[in-house]
């Protein structure tokens, strides 16, 4: 799947680097940092999805309000 925008491309690159770090790092601190990065990227993805849903819901509600006003 191709990224939709530059932010998604950066997130994919960060995810790839973190996954590489998880596989290659011998230092537990580096592995913990990589794991934290992956968890943070997952959380950001969830937030973006929730924001899109909330925005769509808000727009739909505004359309209903404006339709009833006119």
Q: Model-level pTM greater than 0.85?
A: no
Residue 7: per-residue pLDDT = 83
In our burial notation (b when 16+ CB lie closer than 10 A, e otherwise), range 2-38 reads eeeeeeeeebeeeeeebeebbeeeeeeeebeebeebb
Which among 44, 39, 13 has a CA at the least distance from the CA of 31?
39
The 10s digit of each residue's pLDDT in 22-53 is: 999 999 999 999 999 999 999 988 998 999 99
Residue extents of the structural domains in the chain:
6-69
Confidence band of 2 (pLDDT split at 50, 70, 90): low
DSSP state of 3: -
């Amino acid at each position: 799947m191709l990224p939709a925008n530059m932010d998604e491309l950066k997130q994919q690159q960060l995810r790839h680097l973190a996954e590489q770090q998880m596989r290659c790092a011998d230092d537990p601190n580096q592995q913990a940092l990589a794991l934290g990065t992956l968890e943070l990227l997952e959380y950001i993805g969830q937030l973006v999805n929730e924001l899109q849903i909330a925005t769509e819901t808000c727009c739909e509600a505004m359309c209903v309000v404006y339709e009833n006003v006119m």
